[in-house]
Structure 1
């Protein structure tokens, strides 16, 4: 069968190629550039727990998250802090109020309790966001691809035409290697100005420049090393533009990226203006004495909010910035692009290996577009209140009513603005049965990364088994962790469960865990290859497990599921 054609060699396109290769699907990546990425210190990305784990799986590289914290505060005037809100993501215990550190603190300052609502306990034990230069991430992906026989990257190849046939896609490129390429499917990962989207005549409505930021990358030492900073209404402004928010994120080697939220409009941000912002900000954070710094890169970053009307047109798909643009209030567009990859890769792999699965392929748009649309809707509704000072409670309910909490959600990857979306209304949801039990993880949400025992007896993290194309079946069996697998693999319900897993209509891996949040002993979880929970059953229920697996593959629900003795053989 023909390879999958991927248009675009940014982080999303390269990640998709690797994700397909992990599932034995070949691809051709059309790169309009030279294969060498521009090194811009001010062009960085933030990855949250799930997307950072995806990058580690695809690149086999351990990414350093150590020491990253987030602190936000407001000041009335220089050297007088009236309220400080601390957001701790490293899971360490509380420190004393007078320590001057943000780590683990529940609330400080005026005693309002704002810190507890905005950050505090909700993040204890979580994994800190990862901040990395985009060219470093792309380089890691390219190194992984260099040793991957199933991925071919073709440089200096710009797409200018495509045609679809019942059995495949034809893509024409211009340049030194201008030619026609034939693929089984084509995915446009070619960014905000996507040629693929334009050739398909897909509308891309939305809003332009909902936020505008001045950006600088520099080498310096700040009072709180390794700690991300958010300063709202900074008091030290004297001559620069009226900025209402400043953020600083640490990078390796005493590097920092600073962002200033600029007022609406098209006022030119000159080098002199940027230098003024840098000097005043560093002096404000460090006291009257401006610290020594080395300015490496600057720029102006415009945040657009747009959403493509369609993400699939027969054998052609859109992913990443070609399908959506977002980024206001601390949200991260690359996070959503990588979640597109995780969702689409296993579905394309099923169709590539086993033939047409139209309902399964349609579910990519249904699931991913709904999640991104909800995130955009939340940000667009909150922006006028958060930036204009109006009543935020009229737009955002629950714990996100606090302005500081809402910003923390976007930056830390939680809540309506930042948390990975759940596919609660997915067309792949299986029919409810009396055997279904409720966990702390709702169906359609990402599973918790618990320790599991693999089929070879090794202890691994659940997330390490994702992205291989197989369904995962996890049995909750307290006490198994203290015995070698050989002592319990043939005891109790294990033989029946192993037989049921072998009979599923798609390859599946059987795992065992001692504990899962909210699950009783002998609960059986069915998990998709991208880590989203399908269902949880109270015990070994071969017919229900088979029906749920069928629904996950896009098959219509049958009125009579196969019984335990009549379960069909697993598809090849």
Structure 2
């Protein structure tokens, strides 16, 4: 079987390659560059809990040692503190901020030690050909050649060659936000705390609007973003230095403190969504499929979730044969989530960025605006929270034993401690990304007993037999508790960590039906039945 061809060696492409390798699927990464990244301190990423955990699983790299987990969040309007949040030390849910070249370097290092991943540098894609059995890609450059693959994934950014070669439209809005950006080493009054200042009282006229964000990095470095007004006003070095000095002096209530300017830039946010994310054996992911990032949200987070979602669906197709329903679900799930996020941002932008807006006639609107921006920066609410797949075509229907738990079906599971099949205690998220379904029995009290004492007692033998009979490899885990789940309930979790269902007790038939639906089997059977019905109806006429 030919490898998966991945076009683009950015964080999304490299993450996809490692995620496929973890499921024993080989890949070739076509990198149009030389295979290394220039350090840019002003180009940073904020990782949420699930994406940081995904990357650490794949790389074995302690990202927290090379980034900064915020100690808190503080927002101010003029001189009034609107929101102040303190994060618990060691809480994995705390946003993690690090330079993008550090992240990419960790991914490249992991790929270099992965025998199932080949990276072809200086390889620029210029042609794609598809057949029923696979796909061929041609690259130009010093090593220009044809590459043969089973599937091809375009992770090649906003100007995606893959998307253009497949003639996929990319509609949306241009320059919904512009920011002047600077990375500098300086001592600020809020060590480790991210900070949003709206309408600072010292702001002067010029090409910088009344909003600035400060986010800490390691070694006393901060990234500062100034929201720019609409238009294409040139931000000269002189204007940016004046803005830095004015802002720092305003925050320290005195003269400008000493600082070391490391990097600058202008960051423009576009909102775009590809019409299709799949064309036969060709897929899009990351910035090739969507652009977002207004109101403090993080586009890379969504791209990493694309890779996680697609990897576990390509793996069974690669190992066991093409499966239309399962592969189609990638676009159905991921595009719907990103579209909802874009709609929410587009609806809020006129309110939050429009002159005047609600604050002129709705009491407390300024505080409401602040809450919306805080949600975006902290990854909460309709703009920032991770998406759920409640309406997924893979969601099982009409399970008699299904019960609700605190995690909505289709959402990411809570990371609880579980007992693995070898008797070791691990985190639930540590078992993700291996291509297997996870079946979790909630059994209070098991944590204090050696596994050999309860593995053959109670419902365990019957559940173990049911797990063995599932239509896909599955791992049986045991948890003492799970939020909202009663004792002896059973959870089914997808390889990407989203909850499929919760059942009241061991119900082999329902468990099998849920697993089958998760793999697209039930969907495909329904489609085939409808097709047969349509053909029969046509014959009757």
User: TM-score w.r.t. structure 2 length?
Assistant: 0.93
Superimposed CA distance per residue, residues 152-208 of structure 1 (whole angstroms, 9 cap, x where no aligned partner): 000000000000000000000000110100000000000000000000000000000
Q: Is 1:273 matched with 2:239?
A: yes
Match status 1:485 vs 2:483: no
Deviates more, 1:478-487 or 1:361-370: 478-487
Determine the C-alpha separation between the residues in 2 that align with 1:401 and 1:71.
13
Distance apart, 1:35 and its partner CA: 0.3
Query: Does 2:28 correspond to 1:25?
Result: no
Give 2:275's aligned residue: 309
The reply on whether 1:341 has 2:307 as its aligned counterpart is yes
* 2:70–2:95 CA contact under 8 A, matched in 1: no
CA distance in 1, matches of 2:87, 2:339: 27
SS of equivalent to 1:173: strand
> What is the Cα deviation at residue 87 of structure 1?
2.5
* Counterpart check, 1:237 vs 2:237: no
The question of 1:72 aligning with 2:75 is answered yes
Query: Alignment partner for residue 225 of structure 2, among 259, 266, 278?
Result: 259
Q: Structure 1 residue 207 and structure 2 residue 173: aligned? A: yes
Q: How does 1:158-173 map to 2 (within 5 A)?
A: 158-173=124-139
Most deviating of 429-438 and 168-177: 429-438
C-alpha displacement of 1:239: 5.4
Q: 2:380 aligns with which of 402, 414, 424?
A: 414
Task: For residue 432 of structure 1, report the CA deviation from its aligned partner.
Answer: 1.9
Q: Is the 8 A contact 1:11 1:141 kept in 2?
A: yes
Partners of 2:195 and 2:343 in 1: how far apart? 26
| Kept after mapping to 1: 8 A contact 2:207/2:233 | no
For 1:377 and 1:260, the matched residues in 2 are separated by 24
CA positional deviation for 1:89: 3.1
Q: How is 1:80-119 mapped onto 2 (pairs within 5 angstroms)?
A: 81-90=79-88
CA contact (8 A) 1:47 1:129 kept: yes
Q: Quote how far apart the aligned CAs of 1:287 are.
A: 1.2
Q: Which residue of 2 aligns with 1:128?
A: 94
Structure 2 distance, partners of 1:170, 1:500, is 41
- Greater helix proportion: 2
Equivalent of 2:430 in 460, 464, 481: 464
**Conserved in 2, the CA contact under 8 Å of 1:171 and 1:181?**
yes
Q: Secondary structure at the match of 1:142?
A: helix
Residue 39, structure 1, aligned to residue 42, structure 2: no
Shift of the alpha carbon at 1:390? 5.3
Report deviation, 1:238: 3.3
Report the CA distance between 1:442 and its aligned residue.
1.0
One of 161, 170, 179 as aligned partner of 1:195? 161
Query: In the aligned structure 1, how far is the partner of 2:483 from the partner of 2:223?
Result: 37
Question: Unaligned regions of 5+ residues in structure 1, if any?
Answer: 76-80, 93-124, 394-398, 560-572
Cα shift at 1:546? 0.5
In structure 1, distance between residues paired with 2:80 and 2:408: 40
Kindly indicate whether the alpha-carbon contact (under 8 Å) linking 1:384 and 1:390 is maintained by their aligned counterparts in 2. Answer: no
Picking from 220, 225, 233, the partner of 2:191 is 225
Q: Give how far 1:91 is off.
A: 6.8
Decide whether the 8 Å contact of 2:70 with 2:96 is kept in 1: no
Q: Name the residue aligned to 1:113.
A: none
Pick aligned residue for 1:512 from 461, 465, 478: 478
Structure 2 stretches of 5 or more lacking a match?
Answer: 360-364, 527-541
Q: What is the DSSP-based 3-state SS (H/G/I as helix, E as strand, rest coil) of the residue aligned with 1:153?
A: strand
Q: Counterpart of 1:329?
A: 295
User: Is 1:453 matched up with 2:451?
Assistant: no
Query: 1:62 aligned to 2:28?
Result: no
Corresponding pairs, count: 519
* Other structure's SS at 1:556 match: helix
Task: Say if 1:240 and 1:276, in contact at 8 Å, map to a contact too.
Answer: no
Cα 1:46–1:14 shift into 2, 3 Å:
same
After superposition, the C-alpha distances for 1:322-372 in whole angstroms (9 at most, x for unaligned) are 000000000100000000011000000010011111100000000000000
1:152 to 118, 123, 126: 118
Distance 2:224 2:193 in 1: 12
Alignment partners' CA distance in 2, 1:33 and 1:126: 34
Task: Return the alpha-carbon distance in structure 1 between the equivalents of residues 202 and 433 of structure 2.
Answer: 49
Using the alignment, how far apart are the partners of 2:226 and 2:88 within structure 1? 26
Given that 2:168 and 2:276 are in contact with CA atoms closer than 8 Å, whether structure 1 keeps it comes out as: yes
Partner of 1:161: helix, strand, or coil? strand
State the TM-score, normalized to the length of structure 1. Answer: 0.88
Q: Deviations over 1:95-134 (max 9, x none)?
A: xxxxxxxxxxxxxxxxxxxxxxxxxxxxxx6711111100
Q: Are the equivalent residues in 2 in contact too, given 1:240–1:277 (CA < 8 A)?
A: no
Counterpart Cα distance in 2 of 1:465 and 1:72? 37
* Structure 1 counterpart SS, 2:522: coil
> What corresponds to 1:117 in structure 2?
none
Alpha-carbon deviations, 1:436-491, whole Å to 9, x = none? 00011111111000111111111111111000000000000011111111111110
